[in-house]
């Protein structure tokens, strides 16, 4: 995968970005933990019946795909698009009504002093020469008040609580940024890491002992179950047994999408199953939508009557296609040192699956706060690790440097948690 130029993961061709190959483990394990065999989840079906079912579904699917070719709105969310699920309070949409401005007090912490940054996000450690990308603050337009981040207040607010980020390496990206922001607020605080190796299998925990705050990252690329069976690796759109691991959390931040378009050798499943139907492939946006509904049903069934706060990350944009921001088609984020300073729509338009996410969240009984940072992140072609990632991807326009953009995601998370908007 390394050194290959790659189209963005949200490209309609279902191509894959090398940056997206990150399973967020720093190479600690090659095989996603979700692939570990689980006993007794699926019975083996006679091959013939199975092949028949497969054929029937493929035919049906082909028909459906033609007829229902998912028509997803490409409207910009601040220019006539659907309102974000993070219902703007007092006319303030903190995720849309703002600009990136230089703030010399940024970054919010010195990444060299943060002990939690994995190589793939550690741009400064690997010699990124420019620092301008660290200096941008998301400035909100009135009537939004500028959100303030107070790490000590957050540690006190979370005393005795467990905060869990659940998803792919973009969730890990935000998690590591948050660890750094909390560590910077309480640099002397004792922390314990488990497992000590830093391995994510499938989770990884950092505790701020003096505050009794537990922060967990739980790796799952699809939210729904991925199960190794005799027939192969099966992505199960309608089961989410692994979610029992998330019940202990008081605050949950989810994400998914980047692994859905994968094809070829880096596609980590062989079949997709829904009910008794097993197929070799289907429209990936449709599969994603079904999985999100499974997730939403689980949240409504298990968390509706709890105090658990639930967030969902907006889809994090990649920058592999210069034409998205008015550069040449072959330009990627490599060498980019400045954000787009537009206050209008992003030239490349929204990511179509944002509309899917909004619509699923809007249908839920449990209020889920959408951290709708896609647009403000689309403006930040300068904030990716590029080649400064210790040679892990050598051309990463998917993840984000830490310190860097995910710090702003956490400022906004804090703003949401503390009712600032």
Ligand X SMILES: *[C@@H]1O[C@H](CO)[C@@H](O)[C@H](O)[C@H]1NC(C)=O
Active site residues: 169, 396, 399
Q: What is the Cα–Cα distance from 261 to 281, expressed in whole angstroms? A: 11
410 burial class (0-12, 13-18, 19+ CB within 10 angstroms)?
Answer: buried
Nearest to 298 by CA among 228, 223, 371: 223
**Exactly one of 31, 65, 131, 212 binds ligand X (CB under 6 A); which one?**
212
Least spacing, CB of residue 162 vs ligand X, in Å: 8
Binding mask 128-167 for ligand X (x = CB under 6 A): --------------------------------x-------
Which of 382/389 has CB closer to ligand X? 382
Q: Which is nearer to ligand X, 297 or 338 (CB)?
A: 338
**Tokens 């949240």 sit at which residue?**
299
**Which tokens go with 45?**
């079906």
Cβ closest to ligand X, residue 197 vs residue 212: 212
Structure tokens at 6: 């790659």
Q: How far is the CB of 156 from ligand X (least distance, A)?
A: 13
Q: Encoding tokens for residue 170?
A: 């973009």
Cβ neighbours of residue 367 under 8 Å, at least 6 residues apart? Answer: 310
Q: Which is nearer to ligand X, 160 or 419 (CB)?
A: 160
Which CB, 155 or 287, lies closer to ligand X? 155
With 0-12 / 13-18 / 19 or more C-beta atoms within 10 angstroms meaning exposed / middle / buried, residue 342 is middle
Structure tokens at 255: 């994400």
Write the binding mask 329 to 368 for ligand X: x where contact by CB under 6 A, - elsewhere: ---------x--x---------------------------
Please, what is the minimum distance in Å from the beta carbon of residue 341 to ligand X? Answer: 4
Q: Give yes or no for a contact between 191 and 273, defined as CB atoms under 8 angstroms apart.
A: no
Q: Shortest distance, CB of residue 362 to ligand X, whole angstroms?
A: 33
Output the smallest distance, CB 249 to ligand X, in A: 12
Residues that bind ligand X (CB under 6 A): 160, 212, 338, 341
């Amino acid at each position: 995968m390394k050194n290959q130029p790659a189209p963005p993961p949200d490209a309609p061709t279902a191509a894959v970005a090398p940056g997206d190959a990150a399973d967020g483990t720093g190479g600690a394990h090659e095989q996603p933990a979700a692939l570990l065999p689980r006993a007794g989840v699926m019975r083996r079906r006679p091959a013939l019946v199975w092949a028949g079912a497969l054929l029937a579904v493929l035919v049906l699917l082909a028909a459906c795909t033609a007829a229902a070719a998912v028509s997803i709105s490409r409207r910009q969310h601040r220019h006539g698009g659907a309102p974000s699920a993070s219902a703007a309070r007092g006319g303030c949409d903190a995720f849309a009504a703002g600009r990136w401005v230089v703030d010399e007090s940024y970054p919010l912490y010195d990444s060299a002093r943060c002990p939690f940054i994995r190589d793939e996000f550690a741009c400064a450690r690997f010699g990124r020469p420019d620092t301008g990308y660290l200096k941008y603050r998301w400035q909100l337009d009135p009537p939004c008040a500028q959100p303030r981040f107070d790490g000590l207040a957050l540690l006190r607010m979370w005393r005795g609580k467990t905060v869990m980020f659940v998803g792919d390496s973009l969730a890990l990206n935000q998690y590591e940024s948050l660890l750094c922001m909390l560590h910077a607020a309480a640099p002397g605080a004792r922390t314990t890491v488990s497992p000590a190796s830093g391995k994510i299998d499938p989770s990884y925990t950092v505790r701020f002992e003096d505050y009794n705050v537990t922060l967990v990252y739980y790796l799952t690329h699809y939210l729904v179950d991925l199960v190794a069976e005799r027939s192969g690796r099966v992505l199960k759109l309608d089961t989410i047994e692994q979610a029992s691991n998330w019940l202990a959390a008081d605050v949950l931040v989810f994400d998914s999408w980047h692994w859905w378009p994968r094809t070829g050798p880096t596609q980590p499943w062989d079949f997709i199953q829904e009910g008794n139907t097993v197929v070799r492939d289907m429209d990936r946006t449709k599969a994603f939508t079904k999985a999100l509904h499974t997730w939403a049903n689980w949240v409504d069934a298990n968390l509706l009557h709890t105090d658990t706060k639930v967030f969902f990350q907006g889809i994090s944009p990649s920058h592999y296609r210069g034409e998205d921001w008015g550069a040449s088609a072959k330009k990627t984020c490599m060498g980019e040192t400045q954000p787009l300073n537009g206050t209008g729509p992003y030239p490349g338009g929204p990511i179509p699956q944002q509309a899917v996410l909004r619509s699923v969240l809007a249908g839920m009984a449990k209020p889920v706060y959408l951290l709708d940072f896609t647009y403000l992140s689309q403006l930040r072609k300068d904030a990716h690790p590029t080649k400064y990632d210790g040679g892990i991807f050598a051309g990463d326009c998917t993840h984000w440097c830490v310190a860097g953009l995910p710090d702003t995601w956490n400022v906004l998370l804090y703003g949401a948690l503390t009712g600032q908007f």
